[in-house]
Amino acid sequence: MKAFLSIVILACTVGCSAPKQTATRSTEQSSAIPSLKTAEQLYHDGQLDSAELALRAILKADPKNQEAKYYLSLVYRSEAEVASRQPKPQGYYQTIPQQPIY
């Protein structure tokens, strides 16, 4: 009878003293998500790729975040504007020697 009680007490002690892991996971996930202010600052500093990644992470965590959607559209618009300013090649460039094909 004493052995049974000691096993029950031991089982209750081990089961009750186990730490909860759900609280630590939620804090780890929230710390991994960048803040909107960080993404906004990256956008204003001209780091469009980093800002896009941060905004995508924010939208993955909260798809209804309107501010993140707005800044993501600004990032896309800025990237398109930068791409339109790139010089386009003028004329044709011959890359191989001109030979007849038989």
Residue 55 near residue 71 (C-beta atoms within 8 A): yes
Q: Is the pLDDT reported for residue 72 higher than 70?
A: yes
Q: Is the pLDDT reported for residue 7 higher than 80?
A: no
- Looking at residue 25, its pLDDT comes to 46
How many degrees, rounded to 5, is the angle at CA 25 between CA 21 and CA 26? 120
Average pLDDT over residues 71-89: 91
- Looking at residue 52, its pLDDT comes to 95
Q: Where do the structural domains in the chain lie, given as residue ranges? A: 31-83
The 10s digit of each residue's pLDDT in 8-30 is 565 555 555 555 555 444 544 55
CA distances from 102 to 31, 94, 95, 96, 99 (A): 65, 20, 19, 16, 9
